[in-house]
C-alpha cells in the first residue's frame, strides 16, 4: 500500500468518527465490531456524552486517525492527560521524579480506555489495510516521537498480548508488566463442578459464605430490561460505596450508566440484590457487568447496607455461576486484588507501552520497568502456590 498519501488526523470527540468504521477497525477478521465491549465506539461515546470524559475531567479526547486520501485506514483511542487518575497503570512516582528535577511530566498522551483496566487492542486497522500493519505501526511510532517534542511522554495502557508482540520492538519503546486475577472456566457444567476442584478448606468457606446470604435474592437483568429506576438505584449504590471507600462519588457521572444501557443494551448485565419477600425496587445492592464474546467483565458495584460476604457473592460467585451457565470461558472481575486468588482466580500478566521524551528519565524508567517485570514474574510464581485447587488439578 502506497504510504505517500497517508495523513494522520486528530478527532476532538468520538462522534467525529463513524461508529461503524471505528468498530470495524477494532474488530477481528470477518467481524464488524470488537469482541471486547470496551473498545467499541458506543462505550467511548457513553463516557464522552455523559461528561465523564472531557477536557474539564482531565481526559481531553484527541482520537487518532490515519487516512489515505479520504479513506480511514486506522484509529486509536487517545487522550491528553493532565493527571494520572483513572488509568490503573500507576506512574505517580515518575511524575514526582520529574517534579523534583524541575521538569514537567504533564500533559502527557495516553492511549487507553478511560477508567477501564481491561486489556484489548489499542490500534485498530481497517481490514483492507491490515496487510500494511507493520508499515502503519512504524508510521505511528514516528508520529508519537514527533509529538514528544510537545509532551513529556506517551503511554499505551493494557495493550492486548497480540498487539504487544507486534509493537514492543518499535524504537525506544518501554514495556511494563502488571498482574491481574481472572477466573477461567475449565469445562464446568454447574457451580458445584467448580467447587469440587477446590481443596476442602476453601470449598467449606465458600459454602458457609453463601449459606449466610440465604435470605437474599439475586436477579440478573439484561440491558434491554432496565428502566430509569434501575439506573437510579444502581447509581445510589455505586456512589455510596465509592464515597465510603475513597471519599468521593466516583469518576463516572450518572448519565454514563444510562447511556451505557441505551447504547450497549445487548452487552449490559445488571445484578440486583434484595431480600426474599421484598421487591426489586427495595434492592440493597447492585453489580454491573458487561458481556463480551467469551468473557464476562465485572465492572462496578455498590451496596446500601454492609452485609458480610455480600461483595464476594455479588462480584465473584454470581459472576462465576453466570459464566458457567452461559458457557463463557473467562471472568475478568477487575484490577488487582490478591484476595481473588484464594477464590480460584489465576494470575494474568498485563502489558503497557511507554515512550519517554527525556533521555535521562527514559533510561531510569527502562531500568525500573525491567526490575519491576522480574519482580512481577517472581510474585506470580509465588502466588501460583497459593491457588486453592486440589493438588494435581
pLDDT tens for each residue of 227-283: 999 999 999 999 999 888 777 778 899 999 999 999 999 999 999 999 999 999 999
Q: Could you report the per-residue pLDDT of 102-126, keeping only the tens digit for each?
A: 999 999 999 999 999 999 999 999 9
**Can you tell me the distance from the alpha carbon of 215 to that of 274, in angstroms, rounded to the nearest whole number?**
9
All structural domains of the chain, each given as residue ranges with its CATH number in brackets, are 6-179+348-384 (3.40.630.30), 186-328 (3.40.630.30)
The 8-class DSSP code of residue 351 comes to E
What mean pLDDT do residues 309-333 have?
A: 97
pLDDT at 146 over 80: yes
What pTM value is reported for the model?
A: 0.95
What is the Cα Rg of the chain in Å?
22
Lowest average pLDDT, out of 99-103, 137-141, 166-170, 345-349, goes to 166-170
| Residue range 7-31, pLDDT digits in tens | 999 999 999 999 999 999 999 989 9
- The pLDDT of 142-167, averaged and rounded, is 94
Per-residue cell: 249? 462519588
- Please list, residue by residue across 92-105, b when 16 or more beta carbons sit within 10 angstroms of its beta carbon and e when fewer do: eebbebbeeeeeeb
What are the residue ranges of helices labelled H in 277-358? 310-312, 318-326
Whether 176 and 373 have beta carbons less than 8 Å apart is answered as yes
| DSSP element (H, E) containing 372 | helix 359-384
- In the chain, the percentage of residues whose pLDDT exceeds 70 is 99
Question: Mean per-residue pLDDT for 295-300?
Answer: 96
Mean pLDDT of the chain: 95
**For residues 230 and 270, is the Cβ–Cβ distance under 8 A?**
yes
Amino acid at each position: 500500500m502506497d504510504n505517500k498519501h497517508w495523513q494522520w488526523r486528530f478527532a476532538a470527540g468520538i462522534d467525529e468518527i463513524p461508529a461503524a468504521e471505528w468498530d470495524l477497525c477494532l474488530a477481528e477478521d470477518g467481524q464488524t465490531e470488537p469482541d471486547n465491549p470496551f473498545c467499541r465506539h458506543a462505550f467511548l461515546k457513553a463516557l464522552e456524552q455523559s461528561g465523564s470524559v472531557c477536557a474539564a475531567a482531565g481526559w481531553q479526547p484527541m482520537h487518532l486517525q490515519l487516512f489515505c486520501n479520504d479513506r480511514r485506514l486506522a484509529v486509536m483511542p487517545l487522550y491528553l492527560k493532565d493527571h494520572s487518575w483513572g488509568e490503573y497503570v500507576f506512574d505517580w512516582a515518575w511524575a514526582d521524579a520529574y517534579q523534583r528535577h524541575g521538569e514537567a511530566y504533564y500533559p502527557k498522551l495516553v492511549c487507553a480506555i478511560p477508567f477501564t483496566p481491561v486489556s484489548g487492542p489499542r490500534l485498530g486497522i481497517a481490514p483492507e489495510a491490515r496487510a500494511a500493519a507493520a508499515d502503519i505501526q512504524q508510521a505511528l511510532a514516528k508520529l508519537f516521537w514527533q509529538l514528544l517534542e510537545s509532551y513529556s511522554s506517551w503511554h499505551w495502557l493494557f495493550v492486548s498480548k497480540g498487539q504487544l508482540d507486534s509493537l514492543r520492538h518499535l524504537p525506544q519503546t518501554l514495556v511494563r508488566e502488571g498482574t491481574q486475577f481472572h477466573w477461567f472456566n475449565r469445562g464446568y457444567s454447574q457451580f458445584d463442578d467448580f467447587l469440587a476442584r477446590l481443596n476442602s478448606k476453601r470449598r467449606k468457606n465458600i459454602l458457609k459464605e453463601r449459606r449466610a446470604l440465604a435470605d437474599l435474592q439475586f436477579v440478573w437483568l439484561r440491558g434491554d430490561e432496565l428502566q430509569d429506576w434501575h439506573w437510579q438505584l444502581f447509581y445510589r449504590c455505586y456512589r455510596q460505596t465509592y464515597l465510603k471507600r475513597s471519599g468521593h462519588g466516583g469518576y463516572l457521572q450518572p448519565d454514563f450508566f444510562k447511556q451505557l444501557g441505551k447504547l450497549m443494551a445487548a452487552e449490559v448485565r445488571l445484578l440486583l440484590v434484595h431480600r426474599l419477600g421484598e421487591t426489586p425496587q427495595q434492592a440493597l445492592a447492585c453489580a454491573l457487568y458487561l458481556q463480551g464474546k467469551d468473557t464476562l467483565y465485572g465492572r462496578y458495584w455498590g451496596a446500601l447496607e454492609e452485609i458480610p460476604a455480600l461483595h464476594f457473592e455479588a462480584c465473584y460467585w454470581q459472576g462465576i455461576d453466570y459464566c458457567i451457565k452461559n458457557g463463557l470461558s473467562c471472568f475478568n472481575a477487575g484490577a488487582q486484588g490478591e484476595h481473588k486468588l484464594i477464590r480460584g482466580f489465576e494470575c494474568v500478566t498485563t502489558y503497557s507501552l511507554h515512550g519517554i521524551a527525556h533521555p535521562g528519565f527514559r533510561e531510569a524508567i527502562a531500568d525500573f520497568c525491567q526490575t519491576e517485570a522480574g519482580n512481577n514474574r517472581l510474585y506470580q510464581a509465588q502466588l501460583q502456590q497459593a491457588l486453592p485447587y486440589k493438588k494435581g488439578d
